[in-house]
Structure 1
């Protein structure tokens, strides 16, 4: 093989960033056939972003191929062609479009041929390149490896792009997910289903298409249906239908047509209870309810109404048709629940909750019930639950019914024969156990009925595997006894493969079958246990029916697994294995793209034990090594968790040292022809008072540089999901993709002055290129911008510019062995970021003003996501909290907006606010002009003469911006200020003279 110099890849030069981000954001709302529906994993990367990044890190930038594209114009035309292919490649509709995918694979092969053959590759067609690889005249494409594989998006997309793919992770749950996506489907490609059709189904054609993993998908459906039917025979009596009685319909016209019918229950809604703290009602179990609202949909409102009885030994009248109370059953004391339809009273909104956290009121006495009391009661084992309402499947939607004694009695009759009694981590607040509410083991998160259901379904997985094995032998598959873990392809391995997806369906059910699921009154459905990346307490929980047709039913998990398998047409093999990133050797000569843990954002190991305890019960016979331990590995996990290491400082040291080792391992083994791409996301709560950086981001960059990697680019990608429950949290929208290459062994040392000189020479031009891609001097025919200039990438938006430009600065910093301060000590990453931040704007405005200006460019006066504001504020060396304290923004419920001038305080004075920003000074001046005319504005300007020019410059800038955007109303105040500026300055000058004569300190 000819020795060819390393060529720059597309990702190191340009990307159609807006199209990639648009596709990534859109993908978050796609469910059918998406890998995220197979099994929950936290912080998954969108497939669009993963596919784009891997493609762009493998394909040559045209400027690095002068033998084929000798002029800038030719290079730009080729770059635009690659952009158009990338824009097609990231669309969800093209995920299985073989024509588009094969076009991408051809570009990857051509770039690889250039690396292997140099200029000679230009003379070869794609067929000739493939033939050369197959004949051994040219090396095969390198494999791909993700050493922090997690949810598997990156390995899956690498495989889709034609690469032999390897995925490793320390966590057994993550490894199993990756096996299910990249390892198992190619092994059984083309297999026909072996299971019998479920009763009532007919084969559509005699010769169905069983290409890819479609046959495996069909068997997952068939054996899933068999499992459900068998489970209903065994435990169906624990999930009875609910009968609509005439007593229920007495004051409910909506129920009258349903009287006498038995409806399938969707969910039983329970309220947790504690003994009343009022001594007079000490024997009453009072409910802890966050809301009594059942449905908030317009025209379909429903709510629970608690009825307080006069005598504490009283009970509601027996409902006709209800099974009589068992002898010795205690009377319901103090109150009972009924269900009403129509607009609920205001009091129903907050249930019995008084404030955030565990703060409630006693339903029968009104006494407050505080956090300490509730924790003490729960730790003593005195927290109970009481049925509050029943949600059923009606002929025209949800039907809300009052609880019945029969249904509560049946639920309490369940007796599980096994339960996961492994202890939960009580030292972390990511788990409900850490909040002190009496949850000690994983079994404590489930009701007895849920435990019975989960153990029944778990046991049926093993039975389904054995049934499938027998059916596979009958269908002609070899009975070789070689299992899935030993790379088998016969009857046993195939049956175990089907069992993996059935186990995932049960595990997915567990996410809906715990007592930490709530009822979503806006969507009328059960929400999953993991509404966010934690296990918080749920006071009034929803117990889903696994035999219904709604959220949490078993067949839904089977169907989602089958749809994913149907979409997988893997052109290459994959392997998933358990391994530490610090010591693995899989990366040798591989292409590497990875998404490592984000400092202390997510407690992956602690959270995944929720699933591991059930997967271990089902899959240990299949993967004995992977599921050998009682819980997932914790000690070696690369997250900065203080509770594991004794302090935050020790946790940070552990993370830095471990991540450095992991990245050193990657830098040492990665294929030299390709850059390494690393995803990293921020956690907004890490923002410090100076707003310059965050411990996680700074520590991670430190690890990257210590590992001997040089950063050649940073790309902000819209990868974080902000929908559903995260809408009300300060969630982030972006990850930063770092593009890295190994730093030269003979990298020089430079001084701080030399570093600043390079920043001065490089960053202004880099930022102009990001804002104004293409620039001047390029042939109009070569580009596709509106004014005829070529676009080397899409314009970077203001909110993302601040992070993208850091890449240019860190590229300078990281290419040197050291940057020395004046005293000879090495410059820290923190200092380098602070110096880079100073070049992030062409304006001389203060940091708060820079934030406000760029936020206004992006959002105007409208609200935006907190995560975007946090990323921008950090890059501008400020913080959202600081901006809120300064009175510049309003922030809450995951959103941020700039305050308009009428919202600013009227008694503001620059004397008492010596650190006021130019932004605040400008808008206070506008307020004074509108409320007091030129005299008031001039008097105010006289008190801050040094800010006159920056104020006017900002006014011009904002007026021009508003005019360009067509924001006529927003432009008016700035236009009025500029028009009145001469008069304001005259008043200010006169005022300053008067102040001086009177010797006033203004």
Structure 2
């Protein structure tokens, strides 16, 4: 094999994964007060991860342990504050080090799939200039705002109100003294946001009547269908719940009753006890029970009525803010109904099709065929009016003394706030209950990256000051500004196959995940409103009626005549062309970073197909993978999202042009290299607490690192081995690694794992246990003495499924085992005192610690294969907490606790 002709970067040698993953978790767990709040984008990689990755990709590996430890410690400090910004002194230290690394000037950074701009934000934070591009106008707008428009006006003061300014323009926010950071623009965005709100209220406020009992906050709606029972024919309500509030002492709900063919709805409010009847929704599909005759209206009938345009909408209840600031629910009044029904659909909005129904966009199955169909007429009027007023803001700012940069920035930020307003202002907005308090609030679209069919929804008052209102969205957007950088950058709309960077620098990107997210299809939801408000400010982004679909590098069959094969081939060919093009933008002494992940899938074959596609493109573009790193990038709610359209672990692939003299390998030599190198790599992944659900995916990285260093791997017939075949070989080698890990366990734990796979937590015959134990050189009595099983007559049962003795420790056990260590850790973590109590046990495990980790992975795999969800979640939770338990076990209360 040819020698490496470049100096390795730190990222090709070492990374402090534990600290990076902890920072990513903190970033994802914070829902407000992060850069993500400037506007919705899909599956953004956390800022701390990009900060660490970019720095490690730029600095040389020092080839000296002490110097390497210093660099790794600096990265730890750069991400130590999680979702918060790094300490200025640590950031300055990193910037100085990079300046010494590049005395001729720092290289620029290019991200040709710029998304929400995370890569480029962190590039600027490290002192580098940035260029972002994307075929899709929505991510370009977001990236342009945070890396170009905002940096231009950083540190400037707010405009001073003129003598002719209206009272609406005079605000307490105009504090004395010079502005720092983005304080000045924040004040003016508040000022003009309020002016926009006042103008909208003046124009359409009459459509939101205020009653004598207070001001309506939210209107709750449900869809309706005609019961097909010929003896009934009632217009039944299709709702998933009758609950309005589950808050203790103030429970409220709807009680339906049939009066002939009419369905009457009574609102019950403020009860101490009780509850509503069962909701009419039946099972997981779209079947409902008729409220009048109790016959099932099945999904086919619901679809038929939807396609015929006969599904209706009915206002179910109203939440009111009383004069004393308390909130209560009541039935809709005639004024409520008249105000909603009297609004005509605005006639100057583009009718953009939702396309054919697919796995991510469900409404067309039920006759909801266009973007405009996702809104009530009143919701459309609200958004259209806000957009029209935002179009005037640029001239308002100029008239108030602002220059072009200031006016463009204020107007664009308000345009982004409009996108956020749409996110909470459609029929996709759900009434979501808090599991702890029982109260409810509206939750906007895109909790997942899809458009589901909604049967009940909540309409918000955008002019109020409550949840999902205009003022709330402006506030959350402005809370994101302190996380924006103030460097130099550009963001343009262009195809990644033609994007370029001059002079060459660092290319780092998080490209589309095959068919995990329909970026362009979903972006139309925002594009329609951005275009209406901002097309004069950003004419280069809005030359088309809808977000461009042609050329998007995803693999959706419905974009390619319904053929999965054609879609996959288009994806591969497009990325081969992209990576070939990007090679010209890579500086010779720098790698390219490609971050890849895909949504969690039950189908291993589908997942492998996704990975084979992107990896084929990398290898066929003559790139070599010189390093791979798994980054968690998920928050505490990850387990609840399993099986949903959610992104799993991100795999960072460090790529270099493959040397011209790279050798060819036989299959046998490749498999030998896998057996030799994959075992240590998997142990490193496990030591980094990669979740069991992600281990298969994460292990592809080091496997492909081996595969890609060859010009080709050929079989006995001289045929080139495909990436798909290579992935099969990697998975086979991974299975061998796991089997070896189990083989290294103590005999009792090996017995227990095999017995559990067959019997779970149920009892089994003693004779079967005896047959299973003897080949391992032990007896059933040995297993009983090790406190791993208990006997019930002639049957035995594993211990570990229920609560265990919290006083257990290896030191007071005559035969401590990995099985006991795992289940005592799980018991304390899940049922006991949580991480602190589990860490106290971790502190005394000694040599059982590593076998316990290996066994946890194995037990998770068994649970997943068997469909034992509760057990799968317990073992996943233990691995997810493993790093923290180890950390706690060596310091603080956990370490102290083991002394007593």
TM-score w.r.t. structure 1 length?
A: 0.73
- Residue 831 of structure 1 is matched in structure 2 by 725
CA-to-aligned-CA distance 1:523-543 (integer Å, 9 cap, x gap): 511010222111101111100
- CA positional deviation for 1:707: 1.2
- Residue 984 of structure 1 is matched in structure 2 by none
CA-to-aligned-CA distance 1:683-728 (integer Å, 9 cap, x gap): 3326236x9x621012111111111111112111112457499636
| CA contact 1:307–1:338 (8 Å) conserved in 2 | no
- Residue 583 of structure 2 is matched in structure 1 by 667
- Residue 76 of structure 2 is matched in structure 1 by 87
CA-to-aligned-CA distance 1:941-995 (integer Å, 9 cap, x gap): xxxxxxxxxxxxx9965357668984999x9xx99xxxxxxxxxxxxxxxxxxxx
- CA positional deviation for 1:668: 3.6
- 1:304 correspondence with 2:216: no
| CA contact 2:624–2:656 (8 Å) conserved in 1 | yes
| CA contact 2:591–2:655 (8 Å) conserved in 1 | yes
- 1:165 correspondence with 2:134: no
Unaligned runs of 5+ in 2: 162-166, 798-814, 826-837, 853-900
Name the CA shift for 1:344/1:362 in 2 (closer, same or farther; >3 Å). Answer: farther
- CA positional deviation for 1:334: 3.6
- Residue 172 of structure 2 is matched in structure 1 by 202
Give 1:149-228 correspondences, 5 Å limit. Answer: 149-194=114-159, 196=161, 198=168, 201-202=171-172, 205-209=175-179, 211-228=180-197
- Residue 563 of structure 1 is matched in structure 2 by 479
Q: Distance in 1 between matches of 2:559 and 2:46?
A: 31
- CA positional deviation for 1:751: 1.4
- Residue 517 of structure 1 is matched in structure 2 by 429
Task: Specify which of 558, 562, 565 is matched with residue 649 of structure 1.
Answer: 565
CA-to-aligned-CA distance 1:44-92 (integer Å, 9 cap, x gap): 11111111111111112221xxxxxxxxxxx222222222221221124
Task: Specify which of 53, 61, 77 is matched with residue 66 of structure 2.
Answer: 77
Name the CA shift for 1:600/1:459 in 2 (closer, same or farther; >3 Å). Answer: same
| CA contact 1:9–1:60 (8 Å) conserved in 2 | yes
Task: Specify which of 845, 850, 853 is matched with residue 739 of structure 2.
Answer: 845
Task: Specify which of 391, 398, 401 is matched with residue 330 of structure 2.
Answer: 401
Name the CA shift for 1:402/1:758 in 2 (closer, same or farther; >3 Å). Answer: same
CA-to-aligned-CA distance 1:317-355 (integer Å, 9 cap, x gap): xxxxxxxxxxxxxxxx3423322333675663x411122
Task: Specify which of 576, 585, 588 is matched with residue 491 of structure 2.
Answer: 576
Which protein shows a greater Rg?
Answer: 1
Give 1:750-761 correspondences, 5 Å limit. Answer: 750-761=665-676
Q: Distance in 1 between matches of 2:89 and 2:72?
A: 16
CA-to-aligned-CA distance 1:92-150 (integer Å, 9 cap, x gap): 4651643222111122222234xxxxxxxxxxxxxxxxxxxxxxxxx221100001111
Q: Distance in 2 between matches of 1:218 and 1:649?
A: 53
Q: Distance in 1 between matches of 2:421 and 2:198?
A: 16
- Residue 217 of structure 2 is matched in structure 1 by 266
Q: Distance in 2 between matches of 1:846 and 1:280?
A: 68
Q: Distance in 1 between matches of 2:5 and 2:763?
A: 60
- Residue 429 of structure 1 is matched in structure 2 by 359
| CA contact 2:243–2:276 (8 Å) conserved in 1 | no
- Residue 658 of structure 1 is matched in structure 2 by 574
- CA positional deviation for 1:298: 3.3
Task: Specify which of 749, 765, 790 is matched with residue 664 of structure 2.
Answer: 749
- Residue 988 of structure 1 is matched in structure 2 by none
Task: Specify which of 427, 449, 453 is matched with residue 537 of structure 1.
Answer: 453
Unaligned runs of 5+ in 1: 64-74, 114-138, 245-261, 313-332, 478-490, 773-793, 862-882, 890-898, 938-953, 976-1002
CA-to-aligned-CA distance 1:260-297 (integer Å, 9 cap, x gap): xx2x3221001111122222332x32110100111223
Task: Specify which of 699, 702, 725 is matched with residue 613 of structure 2.
Answer: 699
| CA contact 2:320–2:327 (8 Å) conserved in 1 | yes
- Residue 240 of structure 1 is matched in structure 2 by 209
- Residue 494 of structure 1 is matched in structure 2 by 406
TM-score w.r.t. structure 2 length?
A: 0.80
- Residue 859 of structure 2 is matched in structure 1 by none
- Residue 110 of structure 1 is matched in structure 2 by 100
Task: Specify which of 554, 573, 576 is matched with residue 470 of structure 2.
Answer: 554
Task: Specify which of 285, 288, 301 is matched with residue 373 of structure 1.
Answer: 301
Q: Distance in 2 between matches of 1:844 and 1:719?
A: 25
Q: Distance in 1 between matches of 2:528 and 2:50?
A: 30
- CA positional deviation for 1:189: 2.4
- Residue 286 of structure 1 is matched in structure 2 by 236
CA-to-aligned-CA distance 1:185-226 (integer Å, 9 cap, x gap): 1222233222638467335643232x3333222211110011
| CA contact 2:350–2:545 (8 Å) conserved in 1 | no
- CA positional deviation for 1:935: 8.8
- 1:527 correspondence with 2:443: yes
Q: Distance in 2 between matches of 1:717 and 1:832?
A: 23
CA-to-aligned-CA distance 1:826-856 (integer Å, 9 cap, x gap): 1222332333344447767399x79999xx9
Task: Specify which of 624, 629, 633 is matched with residue 710 of structure 1.
Answer: 624
- CA positional deviation for 1:444: 0.8
- CA positional deviation for 1:33: 3.7
Name the CA shift for 1:904/1:634 in 2 (closer, same or farther; >3 Å). Answer: farther
Q: Distance in 1 between matches of 2:34 and 2:595?
A: 21
Q: Distance in 2 between matches of 1:232 and 1:701?
A: 53
| CA contact 1:680–1:736 (8 Å) conserved in 2 | yes
- Residue 228 of structure 2 is matched in structure 1 by 277
Q: Distance in 2 between matches of 1:444 and 1:195?
A: 43
- CA positional deviation for 1:25: 0.6
CA-to-aligned-CA distance 1:206-263 (integer Å, 9 cap, x gap): 3232x3333222211110011111211221221223443xxxxxxxxxxxxxxxxx2x
Name the CA shift for 1:61/1:908 in 2 (closer, same or farther; >3 Å). Answer: farther
Name the CA shift for 1:922/1:682 in 2 (closer, same or farther; >3 Å). Answer: farther
- 1:140 correspondence with 2:95: no
Give 1:356-505 correspondences, 5 Å limit. Answer: 356-394=284-322, 395=324, 398-417=327-346, 418-434=348-364, 436-472=365-401, 491-505=403-417
Task: Specify which of 504, 508, 511 is matched with residue 593 of structure 1.
Answer: 508
How much is the aligned-residue C-alpha RMSD, in angstroms?
Answer: 3.8
